[in-house]
Amino acid sequence: MAIFENMFEVLTVKDPEGRPGIKVHVAVAQWMVPKELLGKKDVMCLTADALESTEFNMHIDELIDQLKKLKPKAAAKFRREKEKQRRSEIRAAT
């Protein structure tokens, strides 16, 4: 299984070059490192231990499902940003 229920989140940032709109990113919100891998540098594990390939495949499918659930969240953030820009343009025109 995926280690956590909500391992990923959608983050937004303003364009640093001043262009209108936002940039959307997928961030890893939660992960773990098995004690056997603690000595390795920069290790981030997204699935629980798998003892066979079918179990590993199930874990991967769960991760993919979590990532797919981010699509509507990102779409909503883009919609809100477009609406905010539209309102700003209307205020500027009046």
What are the pLDDT digits (tens) for 12-48?
Answer: 888 778 777 888 888 888 777 888 888 888 888 887 7
* Res. 1 pLDDT band, cuts 50 70 90: very low
Q: Tell me the DSSP string of 19-88.
A: -SSEEEEEEE---B--GGGTTSTT--B-B---SSHHHHHHHHHHHHHHHHTHHHHHHHHHHHHHHHHHHH
Q: What pTM value is reported for the model?
A: 0.70
pLDDT in tens, 45-85: 887 788 899 999 998 998 899 899 999 999 999 999 899 88
